[in-house]
């Protein structure tokens, strides 16, 4: 069983690598090619409706979804076939798993079985933690989860919805065994899956399963120890004992934690799959064993092929890691100017003021942010009242501030009426008198001492809001130092039309295509999960910073510190400054510390410096 799980581990890892480094980039390139025929040439939240109506974009999107489903089905097919072989005491041939798995699921191409792809989208994340995390971020982004977590009723509603969904799809968790192992059509496999077994029939050998998982962890932990141990040895040889501590931290962040996350996800996938197969056997007790293809099973004299492959992959990974580590250290020493470039501090942006200590978007929050030395910019949201006054508030209505008693939109309320309404999200009696301020009040008090990142929250009823914001920035002398951002590109164009010198940022929940060259976007403000290395590289090549929002957890702050992110928007600016700018000064592994770009050009411009 342990050997079988070891084979399965590498099979899943192989599929994930192929999907991540070959198929996904190819689909992204295809989508970018198609987007050249779309008027906007990119897809973001505000252009999504227009993009999906384009037939070619829709075809590529459906193709990408189909590829994801097929990959999930191929992975599941290989897992269940190998586990079934292990339950029968038969070894499998590693290099035959993929072709046999493909043949086993070919009946999914029949039109009557296309429902299996809907099933995979809905159910696969329940047994695949990596797919679950990716899907959850796509369907429910973190900024929405923050709103849900802040509201007790929404949190309860979300938990109930998740429980109902889980119980509903629990009926279909065993469909894959019938579809893959017995070759049943979707309708028949679905019917048999709903015949849920009683607890007395669940004869799960948990000790065997735990032993197998522990064996897998031991098997794959050895390469990790060799990788980190090799890094330590190189650090000691090149820089001495003091460098080992720094190299240890870098090795853990670059290899250790991602390794553990990957291995943990694969092991949980195997654990759940083995449990489901055991349930299937308990349901079908008394039936003859599943007939396995002869091509999958090992024959005498062919037992060393996977062992050689395993050692070759492990050795190549270790060699590549050492080369990258040693090369980065030597290059950093050879070009000292790179160190200053890589060590550039991350900009800390206080989200809606110091909103961790005071109600968001209030004078109290802005006062605290202005007094905080670690804050580089103060972010705030601006809407326009019925009588045309720009006010600082995030939500479109005053429902949160009034407990639902008043749900009018901001543009339907005059400033005088707004003064009578408390600020949203109370912090107790100390801030009972907090009110929604005007943009002019905030700038008049703090524009001389702090820079601002002003987000435009424009509605159809307030088309002149960008011009009014620019006028106030010019009046209080912060047009050259402060910046404007919006999730609607037309707002940025409106700002540039009034004052082209003001730096404008495009807010993006996600971005696909050629948005990097948008002329009115001087920087990008993105949900931190979407701040990919490619986005950071493409933006930096054009001299456009990328700011990540909303970065509140320590784990996220530490992860972003290991990238080339230019700034973070956070409710906890002091904590963020400590974590994202606490960079080791030793040059060991510095190139791995910042996955940055423009290194060649920067180095060439500074090689003559002493």
Residues with catalytic annotation?
351, 394
Helix (H) or strand (E) segment spanning residue 94: none
Residue 13: both structure tokens together? 């890892």
Quote the CA–CA distance of 275 and 290 in Å, as a whole number. 17
Helix axes 241-251, 206-239, angle to 10 degrees: 140
Longest dimension (CA), the chain: 87
Quote the CA–CA distance of 86 and 83 in Å, as a whole number. 5
Contacts of 219 (CB under 8 A, 6+ apart): 2, 6, 9
User: In DSSP terms, which residues pair with 380 in a beta bridge?
Assistant: 454
Closest of 5, 2, 1, 559 to residue 266, by C-alpha:
5
Sign of the dihedral defined by the CA atoms of residues 555, 559, 562, 564, in that order: negative
Quote the CA–CA distance of 557 and 565 in Å, as a whole number. 11
DSSP 198-265: PGGG----HHHHHHHHHHHHHHHHHHHHHHHHHHHHHHHHHH-HHHHHHHHHHHIIIIIHHHHHHHHH
User: In DSSP terms, which residues pair with 523 in a beta bridge?
Assistant: 505
Contacts of 88 (CB under 8 A, 6+ apart): 289, 292
Residue 202: both structure tokens together? 């669940």
Closest of 311, 206, 223 to residue 262, by C-alpha:
223
Coil/strand/helix, residue 184 = coil
The answer to whether the CB of 9 falls within 8 A of the CB of 216 is yes
Closest of 521, 532, 385, 534 to residue 465, by C-alpha:
385
Place of tokens 């279909």: 172
The answer to whether the CB of 504 falls within 8 A of the CB of 492 is yes
Bridge pairing between strands 42-43 and 512-513:
antiparallel
The answer to whether the CB of 82 falls within 8 A of the CB of 7 is yes
Quote the CA–CA distance of 437 and 390 in Å, as a whole number. 9
């Amino acid at each position: 069983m342990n050997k079988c799980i070891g084979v399965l581990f590498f099979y899943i890892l192989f599929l994930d690598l192929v999907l991540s480094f070959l198929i996904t980039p190819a689909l992204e390139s295809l989508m970018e090619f198609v987007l050249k025929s779309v008027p906007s040439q990119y897809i973001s939240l505000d252009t999504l409706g227009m993009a999906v109506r384009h037939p070619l974009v829709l075809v590529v999107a459906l193709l990408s979804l189909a590829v994801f489903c097929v990959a999930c089905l191929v992975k599941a097919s290989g897992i269940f076939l190998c586990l079934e072989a292990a339950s029968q005491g038969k070894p499998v041939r590693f290099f035959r798993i993929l072709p046999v798995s493909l043949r086993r699921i070919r009946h999914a191409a029949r039109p009557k079985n296309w429902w299996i792809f809907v099933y995979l989208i809905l159910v696969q994340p329940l047994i695949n933690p990596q797919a679950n995390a990716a899907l959850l971020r796509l369907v429910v982004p973190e900024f929405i989860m923050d709103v849900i977590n802040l509201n007790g009723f929404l949190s309860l509603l979300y938990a109930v919805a998740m429980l109902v969904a889980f119980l509903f799809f629990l009926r279909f968790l065993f469909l894959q065994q019938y579809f893959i192992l017995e070759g049943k059509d979707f309708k028949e496999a679905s019917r048999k899956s709903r015949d849920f077994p009683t607890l007395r029939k669940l004869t799960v050998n948990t000790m065997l399963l735990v032993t197998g998982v522990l064996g897998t962890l031991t098997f794959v932990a050895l390469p990790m120890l060799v990788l980190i141990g090799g890094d330590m040895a190189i650090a000691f040889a090149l820089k001495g004992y003091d460098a080992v501590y720094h190299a240890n931290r870098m090795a853990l962040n670059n290899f250790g934690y991602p390794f553990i996350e990957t291995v943990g996800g694969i092991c949980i996938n195997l654990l759940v799959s083995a449990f489901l197969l055991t349930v299937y056997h308990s349901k079908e007790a008394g039936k003859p064993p599943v007939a396995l293809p002869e091509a999958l099973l090992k024959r005498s004299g062919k037992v060393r092929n996977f062992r050689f492959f395993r050692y070759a992959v492990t050795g190549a990974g270790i060699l590549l890691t050492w080369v990258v580590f040693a090369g980065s250290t030597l290059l950093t020493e050879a070009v000292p100017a790179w160190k200053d470039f890589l060590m550039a501090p991350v900009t800390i942006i206080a989200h809606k003021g110091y909103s961790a200590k005071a109600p968001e978007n209030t004078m109290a929050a802005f006062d605290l942010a202005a007094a905080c030395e670690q804050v580089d910019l103060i972010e705030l949201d601006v809407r326009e009242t019925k009588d045309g006054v720009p006010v600082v508030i995030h939500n479109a209505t005053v429902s949160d501030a009034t407990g639902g008693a008043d749900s009018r939109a901001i543009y339907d309320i005059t400033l005088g009426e707004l003064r009578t309404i408390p600020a949203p999200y109370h912090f107790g009696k100390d801030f009972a008198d907090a009110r929604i301020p005007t943009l002019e009040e905030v700038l008049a008090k703090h524009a001389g001492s702090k820079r601002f990142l002003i987000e435009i929250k424009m509605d159809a009823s307030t088309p002149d809001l960008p011009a009014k914001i620019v006028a106030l920035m010019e009046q209080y002398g912060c047009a050259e130092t402060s910046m404007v951002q919006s999730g609607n590109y037309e707002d940025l164009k409106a700002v540039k039309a009034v004052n082209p010198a003001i730096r404008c940022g495009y807010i993006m929940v996600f971005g696909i295509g050629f948005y990097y060259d948008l002329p009115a976007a001087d920087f990008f403000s993105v949900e931190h999960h979407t701040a990919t290395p490619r986005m950071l590289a493409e933006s930096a090549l054009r001299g456009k910073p990328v700011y990540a929002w909303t970065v509140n957890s320590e784990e996220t702050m530490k992860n972003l510190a290991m990238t080339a992110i230019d700034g973070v928007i956070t409710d906890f600016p002091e904590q963020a400054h400590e974590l994202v700018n606490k960079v080791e000064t030793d040059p060991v592994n510095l190139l791995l510390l910042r996955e940055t770009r423009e290194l060649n050009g920067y180095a060439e411009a500074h090689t003559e410096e002493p």
